[in-house]
Chain A
Amino acid sequence: MKLLTKTTLYFVTASLLVFFVGGIGLYKIMQNLVEHEVDADLYSRIHYLFDNIQQLDSLENVAFIATEPIDIERVSKPSPTTFRLRDTILYNRNIKAYMPYRQLSTTVKSGKNFYRIRIYKSLITSNYLIEKIALIITFMLILFLILAYVLNRHIFGKVWADFFDTLHIMQEFRLDNPRKESFHPSEIIEFNQLNEELTRMTDKIIQDYEAVKEFTGNLSHEVQTPLSVIKNKTELLFQESLNKKQYMLAGSIYSATNRLSGIIRSLGLIARIDKNQFINKTAIDVKTLILAHTENFESLMSSRNIGLETHFDGEPRVVMDKDLADILISNLIKNAVRHNIENGFIRVVLSQNELVIENSGDDPQVPTGELFEQFSRASDKGFMGIGLAIVKKIVEHYNMHIRYEYHEGIHKIKIRF
């Protein structure tokens, strides 16, 4: 959930709750006030009636001076003079419907007789009033809520704007190509602190990354000389009259040294691509390059009965470093040969802006994305996935796109120039 959505949601929920409780409270208070008013009116009328009863000879006539409905009946036994209030409904002949009324009943003595008097006051108008007021309140609340929502979003958006700026800059950040884009100073202390921390961290990361690159570069260079020595000495050892066991041992040393030398060389290559040391640009004829490399592997392919299909629908010329182009194509073909199966196939399709290499092979057994990572082992043929890592590096270096797919025994690498 987005920051703004989340805060707005909290705000709206809280406001709704407050307004709901407040609205009901307000309604109750209003109702109470109106009721109190009605009751007060009824009392004042009954007292007015009492005053008049003294001057009238017959209580029956009292009904005529009342503007509101009134009931008077004679009761045989006097009940204690109390006032009783209650809500009731009466039939209104004018509108032919039952209407709500407030009733005040009491007993009064006139002459020798006792009478029970019930007076009423219509609640129609007061109810109407309450309804109207409630409606206005609700309307006001909704209006306020909308306003608050808009303001909230606006203000939050404004307050967090610097944060979003920072976030955007961080999203654009690329370690292998760090453009020093500084954060905008903010009025908010915390955001400035965040920016400071981020600057400190990214600086440190870039620095470390550069150091690692430098280190791998130097390492691959420095290590080659001692490796050369081991290699050459082992070769000399081969020439001595060794016994079987000694040959096996020397052979293992030689193989391992060769592998190590290859790995370090590849790391060095990656480091040099990172350090942007391939600056020569030549328009590379991809078709010729592919033909040269497939020819080099032809005998190896036929020895495993791997069929080669090539389709050239274009003769693209890609501007890049000659050596990198060579490494790129050779690694791709080598990879397709190496991870193939007996009686398999390799299909190379080259068009004006795309190169697709498909080959039969076993399930890679690693997530397809990881295949391009350094040292992910695709299959156990002594292969360090560094060949494809180099391919990816070169492709990214020239802002080309690469995609790998595996589907039912077919590996497919697609490069868009």
Chain B
Amino acid sequence: MKLLIVEDDREIQESILAYLAPEGYLCEQTFDFGSASDKIQSFDYDCLLIDINLPDGSGLDLIKQARRLKKSSGIIVITARDAINDRVKALEFGADDYLVKPFNLAELNARIKSLIRRMQFQGSNSIILGDLQVFPDSFQVTIKGQPVELTKKEFELLLFFVSNAGRVIAKESLAGQLWGDDSDFSYSFDFVYAQIKNLRKKLREKGATDYIKTIYGVGYKFEKD
């Protein structure tokens, strides 16, 4: 799996790289429009992660370039929150998904995985984790082949957990995942907690291992094995 990360801020670039490292992707970094354009021209990537605001050009032109070259790469753009027009344009030019700055890495990871999944399996795919199997497109979950009934929110949480298996996820990221924003949902942490409790219970009832571990003071961790 080959990724190109186009982001001018080195700190953010480093963070992304560090977070994605356990996934085993082959990540390449560029910090400006020129070199990004060269790389897109010369190589094939499975996924392009493009910041729209670059010092020497617009990430939008990179999307256009990639699509003009008929590259099959999945494209995720990173935009500033204010730039709603950029977002619309990015999707028009052929981007597959977008993230709004400041984003959290768990979310970025989940988006990349979801994109790669969509591209590789074109709909009929599932994520298998131990005795757990999640079908993102049909919103179904089975444990040892047995279907589990989950509410929409519970399913969203589980999918997010599974995408970030083995990582510690902040409760803010989970709340943000449920309501599409991650700043001021502190009042809903009780709800997140209750949802996770239900999810755990439902999974356990079907005889699954207790995957979800509470990390006190931060959030939760979905154990891989």
Contact = CB atoms under 8 A, between A and B. Distances in A.
Given A232-B12, A236-B18, A247-B215, A224 B186 contact: no
Interface in B111-170: 151-153, 167-170
A304 B152 CA distance: 17
A228 B187 contact: no
Mostly, the A contact residues are: helix
Nearest to B109: A235
Contacts of B180: 296
A262 interface: yes
Interface string B176-218: 0001101110111011001100000000000000000001111
Contacts of A297: 179
A225 B217 contact: no
A238 B15 CA distance: 12
B34 interface: no
A235 B104 contact: yes
B19 interface: yes
A261 B184 CA distance: 10
Contacts of B167: 238-239
Given A228-B101, A258-B172, A236 B151 contact: no
A231 B219 CA distance: 15
Interface residues of A, number: 44
B108 to A, nearest CB: 9
B106 A235 contact: yes
Given A224-B102, A296-B179, A268 B170 contact: no
Given A224-B80, A236-B105, A258-B172, A229 B11 contact: yes
B191 A229 contact: no
A259 B184 CA distance: 6
Given A236-B18, A238-B170, A254 B183 contact: no
B197 to A, nearest CB: 11
Contacts of B18: 236
A210 B168 CA distance: 44
A228 B168 CA distance: 18
B19 to A, nearest CB: 6
B11 A248 contact: no
B25 interface: no
A268 to B, nearest CB: 7
Contact of B217 (A252, A263, A265, A272): A252
B75 to A, nearest CB: 20
B27 interface: no
Interface string A269-299: 0001000010000000000000000001101
A299 B104 contact: no
Contacts of A251: 170, 215, 217-219
B82 A221 contact: yes
B186 to A, nearest CB: 4
A249 to B, nearest CB: 8
A233 B15 contact: yes
A381 interface: yes
Given A255-B186, A383-B184, A232 B217 contact: no
B160 to A, nearest CB: 14
B9 interface: yes
Contacts of B190: 303
A229 B12 contact: yes
A250 B171 CA distance: 12
Contacts of B195: 299, 303
B43 to A, nearest CB: 26
Interface of B: 9, 11-12, 15-16, 18-19, 80-82, 84, 101-106, 151-153, 167-170, 172-173, 179-180, 182-184, 186-188, 190-191, 194-195, 215-219
Given A233-B15, A235-B105, A239-B19, 12 more contacts: A221-B80, A221-B82, A229-B12, A247-B215, A249-B217, A251-B170, A265-B81, A299-B152, A300-B191, A303-B194, A323-B84, A338-B187
